[in-house]
Amino acid sequence: MMSYPTQRPRRLRRSETIRRLVRETHLSPSNLIEPLFVCTGEGVRRPIAAMPGCFQLSVDELVRECRDLTSLGISGVILFGLPDSKDPEGAAAADPQGPVATALTALRREYPSLSLWADVCLCEYTDHGHCGPLTTGPDGRTDVDNDRALPRLANAAVAYAQAGADVVAPSDMMDGRVGVIRRALDDAGRTDVVIVSYAAKYASGFYGPFRDAAGSAPAFGDRRGYQMDPANGREALREVALDLDEGADIVMVKPALAYLDVVYQVKTRFGVPVAAYNVSGEYAMIKAAAANGWLDESRIMIETLFCIRRAGADIILTYFAKAAARLLA
Ligand code: PBG
């Protein structure tokens, strides 16, 4: 190996032109998906306290918001619903008249080429805030009933597909849900609908602001009985293998920043399209520090997104999508 003074790596850093030529990773609005919160009503644009710049939007406002996103070249949006009523089973998740289904139909009509993703989970629809119906196990403990959640998740996925979603993204972490959803979509004649599974979804404190935004905080306990332990990396690879086996087209790692090793391993091991979710807490940290004048928001935003791409994510779900696309333009 030759070294200094023959080798001078700084030569390739001296101007933006040369840096651009040797850049290994690229970031474009087409890599980005914007998460949006849909509520009922009309003309609603309710700010979310811990996520400055994000709103709960009624369908009409959501349609308007997506005009900017499409003109900026952002590939798609993922929708989360705020229903008017909740019950122990989360029945409203599959309501074809619910906010998500209504929004999907409106967006499909207005923006034929925008990729429409529907998050599939029950926690926004159950009155206890867990990701499936509850049961009391033989040991007397309350738990989410995995196998009773599955048909409900499948019904929701089919309802979203029929309303206009081209991607469904199960985020519940129940065992076997990808296979059950794939079969239900196929039986409904929707072999065309893509499944992005939240394959490695960790039980993370970084979801705090989201749970206020989506009204989905569990009323008791936590999600550690179904979401993954942050201490585990190898288990993520097992989860990904299972979901791919069941028919997932794209796998997701969530959160992104504290889990870039997982993103990297999934990408190198499986070589399939990988998405990473730059979650609400990661967004809130940057926003809060920037509001205090402690960090340069634009710079950190772009740096963060580049690093998620460098780790191996093809797709990034981020509340920064619109702001980043503006900066990249
Ligand atoms: C629903 C869901 C959550 C997020 C995405 N889908 C919340 C959770 O699991 O508690 C979090 C997204 C974010 O924090 O930005 N299960």
CA of 171, closest atom in ligand 1:
16
Residue 120 forms part of a structural domain = yes
Residue 5 forms part of a structural domain = no
Residue 7 forms part of a structural domain = no
Average the pLDDT over 242-265 and give the result.
Answer: 98
Residue 13 forms part of a structural domain = no
Average the pLDDT over 56-64 and give the result.
Answer: 98
C-alpha–C-alpha distance, residues 175 and 41, integer Å: 35
Confidence of residue 115 (pLDDT cuts 50, 70, 90): very high
Q: Separation of 149 CA from ligand 1 center, angstroms?
A: 17
Q: Is the CB of 125 under 6 A from ligand 1?
A: no
Residues 279-295: pLDDT tens digits? 999 999 999 999 999 99
Pocket test for ligand 1, best of 130, 168, 171 (most atoms within 8 A of CB): 171
Distances in Å between the alpha carbon of 240 and those of 160, 254, 273? 24, 12, 12
Return the residue whose CA atom lies nearest to atom 11 of ligand 1: 207
Confidence of residue 212 (pLDDT cuts 50, 70, 90): confident
Q: Closest by alpha carbon to 317, among 5, 35, 16? A: 35
CA of 173, closest atom in ligand 1:
16
Give the count of domains, the chain.
1
Q: Is the CB of 207 under 6 A from ligand 1?
A: yes
Confidence of residue 2 (pLDDT cuts 50, 70, 90): confident
Confidence of residue 215 (pLDDT cuts 50, 70, 90): confident
Residue 20 forms part of a structural domain = no
Q: What's the CATH number where 183 sits? A: 3.20.20.70
Q: Separation of 14 CA from ligand 1 center, angstroms?
A: 42
**According to the model, what pLDDT value does residue 5 have?**
95
C-alpha–C-alpha distance, residues 74 and 322, integer Å: 8
Single-letter code of the amino acid located at 256: A
Residue 1: pLDDT above 80?
no
Residue 110: pLDDT above 90?
yes
Contact 182, 246 (CB under 8 A): yes
Residues 123-181: pLDDT tens digits? 999 999 999 999 998 999 999 999 999 999 999 999 999 999 999 999 999 999 999 99
Q: Is position 201 annotated as part of the catalytic site?
A: yes
CA of 201, closest atom in ligand 1:
9
Residue 254 forms part of a structural domain = yes
Beta strands per DSSP E along the chain:
32-39, 45-47, 55-58, 76-82, 115-120, 134-136, 142-144, 167-170, 194-201, 250-254, 274-278, 315-318
**pTM for the complete prediction?**
0.97
Structural domain span for residue 266:
27-328
Residue 4 forms part of a structural domain = no
Mean pLDDT of the chain: 97
**According to the model, what pLDDT value does residue 218 have?**
94
Q: Is the CB of 117 under 6 A from ligand 1?
A: no
Contact 276, 236 (CB under 8 A): no
Average the pLDDT over 23-44 and give the result.
Answer: 98
Q: Separation of 13 CA from ligand 1 center, angstroms?
A: 39
Residue 12 forms part of a structural domain = no
Marked catalytic residue, from 201, 267, 287, 322: 201
Strand-pair partners of 120: 170
Residues 67-105: pLDDT tens digits? 999 999 999 999 999 999 999 999 999 999 999 999 999
Counting residues of the chain whose pLDDT is more than 70, the rounded percentage is 100
